[in-house]
Structure 1
Amino acid sequence: MIPTRALYHHAARITLFSRASCSLCADAKQVLSRVWDRQPFEYQEIDVMKDRKWAVYEFDVPVIHVESNQNGSKETSMAAPKLMHRFSPEQVEDLLKKLGK
């Protein structure tokens, strides 16, 4: 899953908070890839060890924030709906559906 300019036209944005050498993060990327195949979204990945603003997730990765892309902001918020650690494609799709309502 590589972000391209075309992705910025999607209604939803998912931010994955991860770190290097994290097997759960690799699993989360596969889940998000399967979801993207059925329901494309804008994707951003943040390494919590490099961006200390998100150090709160240092021991909780992977975490995803699911947000609306309608407001034009590219910044993710702590108030965004989240899924942590292990999550299924169905759980991600449910959050995307709730966002669209």
Structure 2
Amino acid sequence: MFRATPYLLNCRITFFTRSPCMLCDTAKTVIQSVKEQRPFAYQEINVMEPGHEQWKAAYEFDTPVIHIDKSDAPETTTSALKLMHRFKEGDVMKLMDKAEQ
């Protein structure tokens, strides 16, 4: 059975990365693959750039990290639904489903 309405940016994914980071490159490929199947709002944050000290303190040694929020949430927080390090398309979609509830 199909949904009566399509997914219309019901989620926002915030991708926390740094350079160099091989796991981040793999994670970005997973995120791009999910986006081809299911649209979402997207923001990418390099935790090492100036202005992102809050995220550097939280994730400097834990990238890649993604936060999944409802698209209408004002901004992401450390209490958001998240995946860290290694994840697959199915993991991302399951968390998107949970965020949309």
Please state how far the C-alpha of 1:61 moved relative to its aligned partner: 0.1
Q: How far apart in 2 are the matches of 1:10 and 1:82?
A: 18
User: What is the TM-score with the length of structure 2 in the denominator?
Assistant: 0.85
Superposition misfits of 4+ residues, deviation over 4 angstroms = none
Superposed CA RMSD: 1.1
User: What is the TM-score with the length of structure 1 in the denominator?
Assistant: 0.85
Match of 1:88 in 2: 88
1:4-83 aligned at under 5 Å gives the runs 10-50=9-49, 51-55=52-56, 56-71=58-73, 73=74, 75-83=75-83
Q: How far apart in 2 are the matches of 1:35 and 1:58?
A: 25
Q: How far apart in 2 are the matches of 1:61 and 1:99?
A: 21
Q: Secondary structure at the match of 2:93?
A: helix
Q: Which amino acid aligns with 1:91?
A: D
Q: How far apart in 1 are the matches of 2:10 and 2:91?
A: 18
| Structure 2 runs not aligned, ≥5 long | 1-7
Report percent identity of matched pairs: 45
Structure with bigger gyration radius: 2
